Structure 1
Amino acid sequence: MVRRVSHIWDIIPDVRSAEELDVRLAERLAELRVERGWPLDELAARTGVSRSTLSRLERAEISPTAALLNKLCAVYERTLSRLLAEVESEPPLLVRAAEQRVWRDEESGFARRSVSPPHPGLRGEVVEGTLRPGADIAYDVPPVPGLEQHIWVLEGTVEIAANGRAHTLTAGDCLRFVLWGASRFHCPGPGPARYVILVVLP
């Protein structure tokens, strides 16, 4: 029996299980590495993630955290949404609320709803993020350098650092930038923070 950690897909409603999608994601990550001709040791060197963790991930023995997926997306030059979309069929033009996929990283306290998933021929996507109080997520590099982001806070307070500048946003505030370097999202509380991100590929 393969042991699962708590980082899961939440699909509402869908007959496909979270485990099935974890397996598809693992297979796609392995495909991307093989396409580049990289052994696990080289991928480990490029990402700073241990070989054993990468091996377990590609065998679907563990589910990745948001930080781990971001490191893999950076070396594979794709956004998280685009990677997740590659393990599913092409999304419809109309995305009903009940069909919007939610990916959860229970360890860091982050939930990510794909409101408008990546679509062939479109450069933008819309994501809703929710951080529980105390959640803190740091990304060393952007998944795609030059990624344009517009972040609109719906509720709560979120502290965002991007390209070496820190900002505190509350409900109604909008932060926009082109991301070239590290970024960090922190929810100081007392309640959760919920925000919308418009992402535009360069």
Structure 2
Amino acid sequence: MIEPDVLGESEQSATSSVARILSELRRENGWTLAEVSKRTGVSISALSKIENGQSQPAYSVLTRLSSGLGLDFADLLEGKAGRPSFARAARAITRKGEGKRLKNDMGIYRLLSTELAAKALTPMVIDIPPRAENSEPARSAHSGEEFVFVLSGDVIFEMEPYTPVVLAEGDTVYFDAASSHGFYSAGPGGARILSICYSGSNEAPDYLTV
């Protein structure tokens, strides 16, 4: 698992990077928050909180920002505002324990192959905690498709309009990521999954709002 002090620094860095990118792009292009909201499907109030460092964007919000603004997902977290293209014969090796880290209500994410720009796929290893007693279930919805492989533990997968299902170690699920979905560990010790997301388009669906 990730040590709390290291994770905290990563969260703060990712939040400030996204805030800076938003501010720079709006200034360079003369965009209002309303125009960015229309491009990304993220509400004006959420954009304002992100830009002012008052809110840490969830994964689903980050995917809408990267897609709607034409940025690579990893570059958005790193604070790079360019619009690179995927290089021919490119490759990336991520060693055990390496990768860009972030945390939200769904779990602790480790983003893989972040040095590759303009990827069609976003691979991640996610540590999934048990659902806290009396807490609201964490939910995500983002454009494209998602494939999940359970690396360890038992995971409860919820997705509208289906009933919840338990996925054991070695099980997989492939689904429409635009449908509201969520994961939480079925056991007290947590679980770990490999998630691979495909955006499918640079257009953020109009119905994806915060």
TM-score (norm 2): 0.65
Residue of structure 2 equivalent to 1:131:
128
Equivalent residue in structure 2 for 1:47, among 42, 54, 76: 42
Counterpart contact for 1:24–1:87, Cα < 8 Å:
yes
Listed as ranges, the gaps of 5+ residues in structure 2 are 85-89, 201-210
5 Å-filtered alignment, 1:68-87, equals 69-71=59-61, 73-74=63-64, 77=67, 82-87=72-77
**SS state at 1:196 partner:** strand
The Cα of 1:83 is off from its aligned counterpart by 3.0
Residue of structure 2 equivalent to 1:64:
56
The Cα of 1:18 is off from its aligned counterpart by 5.6
Counterpart contact for 1:9–1:102, Cα < 8 Å:
no
- The structure-2 alpha-carbon separation of the partners of 1:72 and 1:197, relative to structure 1 and needing over 3 Å to count, comes to closer
The one-letter code sitting in structure 1 at the alignment partner of 2:150 is: V
Equivalent residue in structure 1 for 2:108, among 108, 111, 118: 111
The one-letter code sitting in structure 2 at the alignment partner of 1:132 is: P
Instruction: Say what the alpha-carbon RMSD is for the aligned residues.
Output: 3.8
The Cα of 1:112 is off from its aligned counterpart by 0.3
The one-letter code sitting in structure 2 at the alignment partner of 1:25 is: V
**SS state at 1:177 partner:** strand
Counterpart contact for 1:150–1:198, Cα < 8 Å:
yes
The Cα of 1:58 is off from its aligned counterpart by 0.7
The one-character-per-residue Cα deviations of 1:91-138 (angstroms, maximum 9, x if unpaired) are 972223354111123xx2610001233733642232101121116320
Identity of aligned residues (%): 22
Residue of structure 2 equivalent to 1:189:
187
Distance in 2 (alpha carbons) for counterparts of 1:75 and 1:18:
17
Counterpart contact for 1:131–1:187, Cα < 8 Å:
yes
Listed as ranges, the gaps of 5+ residues in structure 1 are 1-6
Residue 149, structure 1, aligned to residue 146, structure 2: yes
**SS state at 1:104 partner:** strand
Residue of structure 2 equivalent to 1:4:
none
The one-letter code sitting in structure 2 at the alignment partner of 1:159 is: I
5 Å-filtered alignment, 1:95-110, equals 95-105=94-104, 108=105, 110=107
The one-character-per-residue Cα deviations of 1:155-181 (angstroms, maximum 9, x if unpaired) are 222222335224321111111123332
- The structure-2 alpha-carbon separation of the partners of 1:64 and 1:174, relative to structure 1 and needing over 3 Å to count, comes to same
The Cα of 1:32 is off from its aligned counterpart by 5.0
The one-letter code sitting in structure 1 at the alignment partner of 2:75 is: A
The one-letter code sitting in structure 2 at the alignment partner of 1:30 is: S
The Cα of 1:19 is off from its aligned counterpart by 4.0
TM-score (norm 1): 0.67
The one-letter code sitting in structure 2 at the alignment partner of 1:137 is: A
Distance in 2 (alpha carbons) for counterparts of 1:35 and 1:162:
39
Counterpart contact for 1:163–1:183, Cα < 8 Å:
yes
More moved, 94-103 vs 82-91: 82-91
Counterpart contact for 2:62–2:73, Cα < 8 Å:
no
